[in-house]
Structure formats: structure tokens, C-alpha cells
Amino acid sequence: MSDSTEIRMETKGLGVLYNKTHYGVRNVSLQFYNNQVTAFIGPSGCGKTTFLRALNRMHDLSPEAQVEGQVLLDSEDIYAPQVDAVVVRRKIGMVFQKPTPFPTKSIYDNVAAGLYLVGIRKREILDEVVERSLRNAALWDEVKDRLNHPGGSLSGGQQQRLSIARALAVEPEVLLMDEPTSSLDPNSTRSVEELIRQLKDKVTIIIVTHNMQQAIRVSDYTAFFYTGDMVEFGLTKELFENPKHPKTQEYLSGAFS
């Protein structure tokens, strides 16, 4: 495992402008450390997800969105003209709010989907990656005897862990998670949170959450967003116990949500 103070990813003056008139997020400079979990908290509509989606060029898919500033992965700007967005999204994986399995494809094919895209067809390699990814997603023991069953046959919590396994299969350096437990029951939420704690040994994780207790439980660092601005950033324990900005204090005390 690498030094946890090593910067794996950072943004410099990152902004997202919609329709050339409205900033979803403004001028954010932030560092993400290797093998650490960083949580984004803040009220709805404050820019958390907008910022997260800029970290792996998801806004490329939205013609009305324009990204300003830089996103550096291992010191390389992912928005540089010569950089392929598809390659970026393999290095910086994404897990969404709702589980996103291919419901009619088998569990096996769900995990292997990213490998198929890059032309890997050798069964020996696929078998090894599928098993490793499902083990890393804490799902192998539950599905190893039904890998040919459709992904849609799994429970909601299992489907979310299957989505995580699919993201892990291409060995990303960073894993983005946009409220990954918001549609899950408490038991499934606990499973995914435990998985996040385990996975940080293998991958740098950035998570958006509306649940402040979840941020405390799973993250090493927390950033508080408000009306498109990144207001405060620091070690999670310090930010929650001793917030420095008045708006952070108000939010944590429940003055607004």
C-alpha cells in the first residue's frame, strides 16, 4: 500500500458552468490522498454531485455543461486534448446512486463488461478477474454458484455490490461513489459501508453522501459544499468536531439541510 499522504488526484480551480450562465460549482481546488476515503457533504443542490461528475469527465456527455480548471490524476490533466475520456473512466470508476447492473446479463458478464470492451476474451483471464472483483466487492460467497444467473435477480444491496465489482474489474486508481447507499435498506447500507472501509487499501475513494453519520463512519477526509462553493475541507474528525467556517457549523448543527 502506498503512503496515505501521497496525492493521488487533485483539482485546480475546477468549475462547472451550465448553459454558459449558471455555475453548478465554482473554483474548487482540492487534493485527494492515496488509499483514503474523502466524503462530500452539504445540502441538496449544493454542487456535490456536479463536482464528482467532473472528476471523470461525465460532463462530456452533457452538451450544456462546460468544465473549467484542471483535474490531475497522478499529475496528468485528464481534460488535456490528447487524453481519451474512455481511458479516464477506466482509471476513475463510478458507482451511482441506484444499482446499475445490466439486468438481463449474467452476473459473470456484468462483472466482465469492462474487459469485453477492451477486447479481453480469454476465459482464464476473465474467470480470474471476475472472481477477484466479486471477492473484493464482498459478493463472491453469495453468488459463486449462480454466476450465470441474471444480474437483475439479485437483491438491491447485492446489485449495488455487483455494480462495485464491475467498476473494480478494470482496476481503477480512483473510485467515485454518488450516494451509493441512498436506495438501500439498513443492512445493505452496512454491507456497502464495510466494503468501502476495506476497499480503501486497494483504491482511492471519493463519496457523495447526504448522511453525515455515514461520512463520519467511512471517510478520512470531508469536504463541505454550499451553493456551488467548497466551503471547508479537512480531516473528517476535525471538521465534525471543530468546524472552522460558520456555514459548516450551521449545517452540522441542523440549521438547514
Domain extent listing, the chain: 7-252
229: left (phi over 0), alpha (psi -120 to 50) or beta: beta
Look at residues 167, 112, 150 and name the one whose alpha carbon lies nearest to residue 180.
Answer: 167
Determine which helix (DSSP H) or strand (DSSP E) holds 46, and give its type and residue range: none
Rounded distance between C-alpha atoms, residue 70 and residue 79, angstroms: 7
Cell of 21: 450562465
The whole-number pLDDT of residue 255 equals 81
The burial of 253, by beta-carbon neighbours within 10 Å (0-12 exposed, 13-18 middle, 19 or more buried), is given as exposed
The whole-number pLDDT of residue 191 equals 92
The whole-number pLDDT of residue 3 equals 53
Other CB atoms within 10 Å distance of the CB of residue 168: 24
Look at residues 210, 244, 229, 240 and name the one whose alpha carbon lies nearest to residue 43.
Answer: 210
Rounded distance between C-alpha atoms, residue 115 and residue 118, angstroms: 5
* CATH 3.40.50.300 matches 7-252: yes
The whole-number pLDDT of residue 4 equals 60
Look at residues 210, 179, 181 and name the one whose alpha carbon lies nearest to residue 52.
Answer: 179
pTM equals: 0.94
Q: What is the mean pLDDT of each run of 10 residues along the chain (257 residues)?
A: 75 96 96 97 95 96 94 96 93 93 96 92 96 96 97 95 95 96 92 94 96 97 97 97 97 85
